[in-house]
Chain A
Amino acid sequence: SQQGEEDPQALSIQEGENATMNCSYKTSINNLQWYRQNSGRGLVHLILIRSNEREKHSGRLRVTLDTSKKSSSLLITASRAADTASYFCATGDSGGANNLFFGTGTRLTVIP
Chain B
Amino acid sequence: GAGVSQSPRYKVAKRGQDVALRCDPISGHVSLFWYQQALGQGPEFLTYFQNEAQLDKSGLPSDRFFAERPEGSVSTLKIQRTQQEDSAVYLCASSNGLNNGYTFGSGTRLTVV
Contact = CB atoms under 8 A, between A and B. Distances in A.
| B is bound to A | yes
Interface of A: 2, 30-31, 33, 35, 40-45, 48, 50, 88, 92, 97-105
Interface residues of B, number: 27
Contacts, number: 64
A104 B31 contact: no
Given A42-B104, A42-B106, A99 B45 contact: yes
B107 A42 contact: yes
Interface string B34-60: 010000011111001010000110000
- What are the 6 tightest A-B residue pairs by CB atom distance, in nearest-first order? A45-B101, A42-B104, A102-B42, A43-B104, A42-B106, A99-B48
A88 B101 contact: no
**Which of A2, A31, A48, A100 lies at the interface centre, i.e. has the most chain B CB atoms within 10 A of its CB?**
A100
A97 B48 CA distance: 9
Interface of B: 4, 31, 33, 35, 41-45, 48, 50, 55-56, 91, 93, 95, 98-107, 109
Contact of A92 (B42, B43, B98, B103): B98
B52 to A, nearest CB: 15
23 contacts: A35-B104, A41-B106, A41-B107, A42-B91, A42-B107, A43-B43, A43-B102, A43-B104, A45-B101, A45-B103, A48-B100, A48-B101, A50-B99, A88-B42, A92-B99, A98-B50, A99-B45, A99-B48, A100-B45, A102-B42, A103-B42, A104-B42, A105-B41
Given A98-B48, A100-B45, A105-B42, A30 B99 contact: yes
Main secondary structure of the interface of A (DSSP, over half): strand
Contacts of A43: 43, 91, 93, 102, 104
Contacts of A98: 31, 48, 50, 55, 95, 98
Contacts of A101: 45
Given A43-B104, A45-B104, A98-B48, 18 more contacts: A2-B44, A30-B98, A33-B101, A35-B104, A41-B107, A42-B4, A42-B106, A45-B103, A48-B99, A48-B101, A88-B43, A92-B98, A99-B33, A99-B56, A100-B45, A101-B45, A102-B44, A103-B42
